[in-house]
């Protein structure tokens, strides 16, 4: 998969995506990341990318032309014969909240262009003309879209075929399959001043361990994120446990 990031700080996303699973996915050639700075496409001595908002008010607005030229350069660089242009996603607190279903959808694309705003935002005409979709990573305002883009890159990279090793994929699959929060995890030592590992995990009884993990996952989801239970894939046995 190829991801192009349009940003005044393209190195930021590049650096964020240099470690762990994402760094490995890039080394393995499963993901390529390309940064495009609208300033390189701006005109004049000052290479201006922003201007005051019409109608007054604080802050600056990113101008149409440098962004449009950067998007076009990214589209041209990633163009493959007969393939449609990449989907253009604008990272914005006004977008649709990101969830794992959206991550899966994006991860299945060949190409993606992520547009990061700074200042008060981006000229609305550019969004209407060039952007396919707006995505938010949560109900809070960041100083720019770069962190949000890095979140998308990370979540999408780890879903590329071959990015995760077998153990990591198994964990991913179990989380994805049922839509519940994860159960708690423990490792050595068994006894510690902070507490003892639950005995069932050392019992060697795989059925009991699986049952305990399922109960923990259900209980946590019920306590912390009851909204997820509406969409979760629950068996009749799960429902009985929740009713208790
Ligand atoms: N840009 C600024 N805040 C954002 C958010 N919450 N999500 C995505 N992009 C953003």
pTM exceeds 0.90: yes
**Distance in angstroms (rounded) separating the CA atoms of residues 146 and 151:** 9
- The pLDDT assigned to 172 comes to 67
Query: For tokens 């547009």, what's the residue?
Result: 115
| Percent of the chain whose pLDDT exceeds 90 | 90
- The rounded distance, in Å, linking the Cα atoms of 82 and 52 is 40
**Bridge partners, 6 (sequence order):** 36, 115
Distance from residue 5's CA to the centre of ligand 1 (Å): 15
| Residue predicted with more confidence, 119 or 224 | 224
The mean pLDDT of 1-25, rounded to a whole number, is 96
Would you list the domain boundaries of the chain? 2-157, 166-243
Q: Is 71 annotated as a binding residue?
A: no
Residues 190 and 52: their CA atoms lie apart, in Å, by: 61
Residue 75 has pLDDT above 80, yes or no: yes
Q: How remote is the CA of residue 13 from the centroid of ligand 1, in Å? A: 14
173 among known catalytic residues: yes
Cα–Cα distance measured from residue 181 to residue 175, given in angstroms and rounded to the nearest whole number:
7
The answer to whether 98 is annotated as binding is: no
**Two domains, one topology: 2-157 and 166-243:** no
Classify residue 187 as exposed, middle or buried by CB count within 10 Å of its CB (0-12, 13-18, 19+): exposed
Q: Whose CA is nearest to atom 6 of ligand 1?
A: 93
Q: Which of 123, 158, 178, 238 is catalytic?
A: 158
Is there a binding annotation on residue 159? no
Q: What is the pLDDT of residues 126-171, one digit of tens each?
A: 999 999 999 999 999 999 999 999 999 999 999 999 999 987 886 6
Taking the centre of ligand 1 as the mean of its atom positions, its distance from the CA of residue 145, in whole angstroms, is 5
Does any ligand 1 atom lie closer than 6 A to the CB of residue 153? no
Q: According to the CATH classification, is domain 2-157 in 3.40.1280.10?
A: yes
- 13, 90, 93, best to mutate for ligand 1 pocket (most atoms within 8 Å of CB): 93
Annotated binding residue 186: no
CA 240 – ligand 1 centroid, Å: 40
- Supply the ipTM of this predicted assembly: 0.98
Nearest CA owner, ligand 1 atom 10: 92
User: DSSP states of 44-79 as a string?
Assistant: TTTT--EEPPTT--SS-EE-HHHHHHHHHHHHHHT-
Closest residue by Cα to atom 7, ligand 1, is 136
Instruction: Decide: helix, strand or coil at residue 51.
Output: strand
Say whether 93 is catalytic.
yes
- Write down the CATH number for the domain with range 166-243: 1.10.1270.20
Which atom of ligand 1 has the smallest separation from the CA of 91? 9
**137 assigned ligand-binding residue:** yes
Residue 174: pLDDT band (50, 70, 90) is: low
How far does the centroid of ligand 1 lie from the alpha carbon of residue 54, in Å?
23
Q: Report whether 100 contacts 67 (CB < 8 A).
A: no
What letter does residue 110 receive in the DSSP assignment?
A: S
* DSSP assignment of 119-130: TTEE-HHHHHHH
The residue whose CA has the least distance to atom 5 of ligand 1 is 93
């Amino acid at each position: 998969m190829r991801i192009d990031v349009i940003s005044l700080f393209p190195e930021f996303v590049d650096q964020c995506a240099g470690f762990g699973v994402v760094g490995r996915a890039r080394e393995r050639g499963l993901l390529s990341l390309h940064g495009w700075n609208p300033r390189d496409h701006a005109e004049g001595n000052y290479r201006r990318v922003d201007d005051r908002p019409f109608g007054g008010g604080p802050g600056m607005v990113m101008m149409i032309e440098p962004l449009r030229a950067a998007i076009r350069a990214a589209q041209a660089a990633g163009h493959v014969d007969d393939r449609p242009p990449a989907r253009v996603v604008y990272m914005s607190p006004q977008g649709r909240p990101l969830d794992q279903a959206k991550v899966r959808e994006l991860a299945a694309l060949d190409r993606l262009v992520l547009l990061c705003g700074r200042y008060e935002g981006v000229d609305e005409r550019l969004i209407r003309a060039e952007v396919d979709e707006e995505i938010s990573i949560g109900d809070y305002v960041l100083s720019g879209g770069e962190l949000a883009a890095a979140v998308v890159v990370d979540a999408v990279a780890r879903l590329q075929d071959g990015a995760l090793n077998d153990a990591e994929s198994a964990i991913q699959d179990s989380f994805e399959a049922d839509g519940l929060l994860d159960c708690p995890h423990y490792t050595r030592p068994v006894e510690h001043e902070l507490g003892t590992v639950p005995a069932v995990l050392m019992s060697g009884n795989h059925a009991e361990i699986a049952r305990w993990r399922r109960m923990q996952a259900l209980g946590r989801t019920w306590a912390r994120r009851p909204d997820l239970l509406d969409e979760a894939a629950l068996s009749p046995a799960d429902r009985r446990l929740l009713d208790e």
